A = this chain, B = another copy of it.
Amino acid sequence: MAQQQEEPTEPCTGVDVALTRVFALLGKRWTGLIVAVLTQRPWYFAELRRAIPKISERMLSDRLSELAEAGLLTREVETGPPLRVSYRLTEAGRAVGPALEELRTWAVAYLPGDLPAATACPEADESDTC
């Protein structure tokens, strides 16, 4: 195998900048999961909090703001009463859906269920959503 290896001549090679942007955004705790949940339909804030049981209100709010800033979702206020805020993916947000689905399929095939998954619901099994 040593023959296949070449010492890089550049000090900076190999890391794709577009993928770096992906993980800078979706790699933050909860963010990828929030996007995945929003691919299903628009959600109210309170619904999202219940859907992601261990996330704090502050953390969910911060993550949604980051996603809005990145252009992946829009925030809509229903003046009510009750006043409610809903979140829906933009075209950019919806466009990441197939990649998330591919990651999910990969995980079902290759990532066994006993790996650390602190954010999963304890009662959920392999095939369920939680």
Contacts and interface: CB of A to CB of B under 8 A. Distances in A.
A78 B43 CA distance: 53
Say how many copies of this protein the assembly contains: 2
Interface residues of A, number: 81
B107 A41 contact: no
Given A15-B36, A18-B104, A71-B110, 16 more contacts: A2-B78, A4-B41, A5-B44, A12-B53, A12-B123, A13-B50, A13-B130, A14-B40, A16-B130, A19-B104, A19-B107, A22-B111, A24-B118, A91-B110, A92-B111, A95-B106
14 contacts: A1-B86, A11-B50, A12-B53, A13-B50, A17-B124, A17-B125, A21-B107, A24-B116, A25-B115, A26-B103, A27-B27, A27-B29, A95-B110, A98-B102
